[in-house]
Amino acid sequence: MSGVGAPVRTTGPPVPATLREVSRRGRRAWSLPEMDVPPVEVPHEHRREGRVGLPEVSERDLVRHFTRLAQINFGIDTGFYPLGSCSMKYNPKVAETVAALPGFQRLHPHQPEETVQGALEMLWRLERALCEITGMHRATLQPPAGASGELTGLLIMRAFHEKQGSPRAKVLIPDSAHGTNPASVTLAGYRAVQVPSDSRGLVDLGRLEKVVDDDVAGLMLTNPNTLGLFEEEIQAVAAAMHRVGALLYYDGANLNAVLGRVRPGDMGFDIVHMNTHKTFATPHGGGGPGAGPVGVTERLEPFLPAPVVGFDPEGQRYFWDSDRPDSIGRVHGFGGNFGVLVRAYAYVFGHGRDGLREVGERAVLNANYLATRVKDAYPLAYPGRPMHEFVATAKRFRSHGVRAMDIAKRLIDLGFHPPTVYFPLVVEEALMVEPTETESMETLDAFAEALLQVAREAETDPEPLHEAPTTTPVRRLDEAKAARELKLHW
Amino acid sequence: MQFAPHTDDDIRGMLEACGLASVDELYADVPAAVRLERDLSIPQGLSEMELVAEMRRLAGRNRNLDDVVSIAGGGAYDHYDPSVGWALAGRSEIYTSYTPYQPELSQGVLQALFEYQSMICELTGLDVSNASLYDGPTALVEAVNMARSATRRDRVLVSQGLDRRYLHTLESYGRGSGYRIDTAPLSGGVTSVAEVGEDIAALVVQHPSFWGNLEPISELFDSAHRAGARAIHVFDPLSLGVLRPPADVGADIAVAEGQVLGNHLNYGGPYLGVIAARSQDVRRMPGRIVGETTDVEGRPGYVLTLQAREQHIRREKAASNICTNQTLMAVAATVYMSWLGPDGLAEVGSQCLAKATYAAERLGSLSCAELVWPDADCFKEFAVRPGRAPRDVQRGLFEAGFLVGPIADAESLLVAVTERRTREEIDRFVKAFEEAAS
Ligand SMILES: Cc1ncc(COP(=O)(O)O)c(C=O)c1O
């Protein structure tokens, strides 16, 4: 039995002092050439007085500091990262190599078109491939993340309805939807109306039909949905929406499951966003960057953000097409997260048609295998066959005083990044597990064993779960204190 | 390329464990009518070697800033980024991690973001920074939304000196949020506002402006405050070693394009949306914010905080819909700012100012060119009116080895000079300009 007598202490390395504490007046890392033109005074009324409080450190200080920070951070390169809804698959190194080519990295966004034909060709071909994958007609590559793609798609929806005479007032979202969906709905000037899930965890078609009227602009859906289940009645859902002239929006967070097997366009969706940082393995950078391309059907093309890439087949040249009178306008300062799109291009064309289909198949296989291995201890929240991820519930451990968060923290001590917890909100004590296709059976087996061990501990000796984690630089952190005694800078 | 590690035996064994006979059965719940019964019309995959060759072909069809000297600006600048920046931000424990939802495993990114927020507060003099937004223009949209929520007003007054990409982005998002945008005209190259109306939520001024000019920013922000409006300052982070910081000139909210802080040009992205504000608006701030706290043993550590503002908690009532941001670019910016320190930052600012001033004087003395705002003060950028169509001049200069721009209007183009340019390059540029413009 652990925890008898001696207090538990973390065995992890400590977090380093901040650079401010390391800083010493007069130390420096920077070097610049001597000024070779006459100096100029800043006009008095604009001149900054005093020095800026940036740290003064040597380059060696800097290197040790950030190396330490990297070492106390967990990435996919560190270990298994089954964070549901985030598709934390291996990020190919070749994508980093090619994105760093000066011919991509050292391009200025204001260069004349004829000097960036390769960049425009890349964007054009990527757009074509993404449209083929999703069954859409055209796409914008401007949105820099999924949420931005959502808002872009909803503004397109709004512009479309306005053109028909009225923007309409409501957008429907399932109760299992990701938080960005309702937040984007509000920003697009709509009212979010929740549609409940039925006992299978799918959109309740009967209830949906009751709330659909001609004031509904559209419905936002993921498929597979956020419970990892395929919405079998998707055609009926689409028909119900289209009957009243409403549009169907596809949140592409779960596109990985159906690559090369099912296309949102063929399911009846009108607008689709993709998260390249999920499906196409562009590194998420500890929070971003991402990219959120949005594809649309033919009738929505005029409303896409401007500019889009154009191709003139006669002159065999690519150009920025800004002459789009019905466009919703610009949604990013320049053409989007180009460097991320280069990586997505490498992923899509590196895998090719069979490779992409295999990605989806193996992601689904891995999730099903893992679910099968652990479902006796962690029952699935809904009975259906999971696709690329599954949502289990840990509510049966509540009687032992154990919560989903305790399980997550214990998994950390066993060497794994935990799954997503407490999402979707419709599942009590949710554990949302997405292994992705790049994990081996051995890793899945090891993770399953860890989960089963934690389940046994939860029932017999929950102490390690409550104490966890103990192997990290810090143990559980006081989030209430952080929000109460705001300390947001040094 | 394929990164899935499954052997045929693995696949058979795993299917069997699931009680399935084939991979197709995994998709049994998909109705036949929506299945794709053909191959995607995308070429077959490539080996890594072939892929690199294809990417080199595409990259090779571009002329990049290793081939031409950049004197271009308009929101993206060729500043020097030291080797140490991406050597550290490029550590894969950082770049292959997700948003720090499990703080005990993410202290590295969390602390880097805490230090980023701290340095943005040091630069701007403001009380609070978030952990990043997408880019400068989308950061402005968020700032305007903060101002609307704070003032409960729905009109925004925007200086005509604001980069039009910012204005256009603001307009696009306004289609959903329903705010109205009015513009304050320029006079002599700087913003003139007689009076800010009582129904204005925010006055937005870019300083240095799109045209490169220093604005009478304190006076403008005073008039905003008299009307009860928020003062939003669109600033250049690298100007703040020499120019008065946003807090000093009266800004309530400051936003910036953080590309200049050690991030690559990348043909427009990924860049870094910087936002900072006074503590009065801390609960209106969008996106992730990192806070310091303690663990159960009383040791300091970092967490995402004030999450009650955010979409995953507040859903349709959230301050913003942002989820994924530009964390990695913020980490690179943190390394870069630490590399510079206070003296390096001041030196970069002084060199930009001196070199831009030198270039402006040389260009202004040509008979084929005219400074658009000869009486305005600048920082690192200014507008020039060549004797010929700006587009032709830009093209001619490119052929001569210089990227200049963007085209500012029908008659003029922008010239931006960073610390990276040498006097010799500027002299050659002026000579090439003379040839291209006459
Ligand atoms: C289902 C779902 N929708 C939308 C999003 C938002 O995407 P992003 O973080 O790229 O803005 C996420 C991200 O976690 C998601 O899981």
pLDDT at A13: 80
- Residue A18 predicted with pLDDT over 70: yes
Show residues of chain A in contact with B63, CB under 8 Å.
111, 115-116
At A230-253, the pLDDT tens digits run: 999 999 999 999 999 999 999 999
Distances in Å between the Cα of B214 and the Cα atoms of A319, B210, B323, B382 are: 34, 10, 34, 10
Six token digits for residue A427: 């599942």
Q: Which residue has tokens 């699931």?
A: B18
Calculate how close chain A gets to B211, using CA atoms only, in Å. 15
Q: Is B420 helix (H, G, I), strand (E, B) or coil?
A: coil
Angstrom distance (rounded) from CA A141 to CA A214: 31
A24 touches chain B (CB under 8 A): no
Which residues numbered 227-266 in B keep a CB inside 8 Å of some CB on A? Answer: 240-245, 248, 257, 264-266
Q: Are residues A248 and A172 in the same domain?
A: yes
pTM for the complete prediction?
0.98
B64 touches chain A (CB under 8 A): yes
| φ, ψ dihedrals at B375, nearest 5° | -95, -5
User: Residue A429 sits in a domain of what CATH number?
Assistant: 3.90.1150.10
Contact A184 CB / ligand 1 (< 6 Å): no
Show residues of chain B in contact with A50, CB under 8 Å.
none
- Domain contains A458: yes
Fold designation for B83-334: Aspartate Aminotransferase; domain 2 (3.40.640)
At A312-329, the pLDDT tens digits run: 999 999 999 999 999 999
Six token digits for residue B328: 């990695």
pLDDT band at B26 (very low <50, low <70, confident <90, very high): very high
Subunit contact B109:A98, Cβ cutoff 8 A: no
- Residue B49 predicted with pLDDT over 80: yes
- Ligand 1: which residue has its CA nearest to atom 15? A253
- Residue B85 predicted with pLDDT over 90: yes
pLDDT at B193: 81
pLDDT band at A257 (very low <50, low <70, confident <90, very high): very high
Show residues of chain A in contact with B290, CB under 8 Å.
488
In chain B, where the domains are located: 71-81+341-437, 83-334
Contact A278 CB / ligand 1 (< 6 Å): no
Burial of B264 (0-12, 13-18, 19+ CB in 10 A): buried
Q: Are residues A171 and A263 in the same domain?
A: yes
At A330-386, the pLDDT tens digits run: 999 999 999 999 999 999 999 999 999 999 999 999 999 999 999 999 999 999 999
Q: Are residues A223 and A148 in the same domain?
A: yes
At A446-478, the pLDDT tens digits run: 999 999 999 999 999 999 999 999 999 999 999
Angstrom distance (rounded) from CA A323 to CA B179: 25
Compute the count of residue pairs across chains A and B with CB atoms less than 8 Å apart: 708
At B91-123, the pLDDT tens digits run: 999 999 999 999 999 999 999 999 999 999 999
pLDDT band at A3 (very low <50, low <70, confident <90, very high): very low
- Residue A2 predicted with pLDDT over 80: no
Cα Rg of chain A, angstroms? 25
Angstrom distance (rounded) from CA A21 to CA A56: 10
Nearest CA in chain A to B306: A483
DSSP label of A137: S
DSSP label of B320: -
Q: Are residues A340 and A427 in the same domain?
A: no
| φ, ψ dihedrals at A379, nearest 5° | -60, 145
pLDDT band at A1 (very low <50, low <70, confident <90, very high): very low
A-interface mutation test, from B24, B44, B55, B337, most A Cβ less than 10 A away:
B55
Nearest CA in chain A to B135: A333
Of A283, A474, A486, the CB nearest to B295: A474
Last residue of a domain, one of A350, A368, A401: A350
At A434-443, the pLDDT tens digits run: 999 999 999 9
Subunit contact B346:A337, Cβ cutoff 8 A: no
Summary mean pLDDT of chain B: 97
Which residues numbered 390-409 in A keep a CB inside 8 Å of some CB on B? Answer: 408-409
Q: Are residues A269 and A242 in the same domain?
A: yes
- Stretch A128-133: mean pLDDT, rounded? 98
Which atom of ligand 1 is found nearest the CA of A254?
1
Of B23, B29, B94, the CB nearest to A73: B94
Last residue of a domain, one of A350, A368, A396: A350
Q: Are residues A278 and A331 in the same domain?
A: yes
- Domain contains A43: no
Which atom of ligand 1 is found nearest the CA of A290?
10
At CA A283, angle to CA A282 and CA A287, rounded to 5? 125
- Residue B194 predicted with pLDDT over 80: no
Q: What is the ipTM of this complex?
A: 0.98
User: Residue A138 sits in a domain of what CATH number?
Assistant: 3.40.640.10
pLDDT band at B158 (very low <50, low <70, confident <90, very high): very high
Omega before B208 within 30 of 0, i.e. cis: yes
- Domain contains A487: no
- Segments in B227-280 forming alpha helices (H): 246-249
Q: Is A221 helix (H, G, I), strand (E, B) or coil?
A: strand
Structural domain including A435 reads 353-480
- Residue B339 predicted with pLDDT over 90: yes
Rounded percentage of chain B residues whose pLDDT exceeds 90: 96
pLDDT band at A177 (very low <50, low <70, confident <90, very high): very high
Q: Are residues A318 and A358 in the same domain?
A: no
Show residues of chain B in contact with A343, CB under 8 Å.
none
The β-bridge relationship of strands B180-184 and B128-129 is: unpaired
pLDDT band at A6 (very low <50, low <70, confident <90, very high): low
B181 touches chain A (CB under 8 A): no
- Residue B317 predicted with pLDDT over 90: no
Beta-carbon contacts of A29 under 8 Å, excluding residues fewer than 6 positions away, are A57, A58, A59, A61, A62, B82, B84, B338, B339, B340, B341, B344
Last residue of a domain, one of A350, A381, A416: A350
Of A20, A328, A479, the CB nearest to B293: A479
Show residues of chain A in contact with B351, CB under 8 Å.
32, 35
Of B44, B168, B294, the CB nearest to A330: B168
Q: Are residues A267 and A314 in the same domain?
A: yes
Choose the residue to mutate in A152, A154, A180, A388 for probing ligand 1, maximizing ligand atoms within 8 Å of C-beta: A180
Q: How many CB atoms lie within 10 A of CB B314?
A: 17
Fold designation for B71-81+341-437: Aspartate Aminotransferase, domain 1 (3.90.1150)
Q: Are residues A326 and A434 in the same domain?
A: no
Which residues numbered 345-384 in A keep a CB inside 8 Å of some CB on B? Answer: 345-346, 348-359, 361-362, 364-366, 368-369, 372-373, 384
- Structural domain total, chain A: 2
Q: Are residues A371 and A344 in the same domain?
A: no
pLDDT at B319: 87
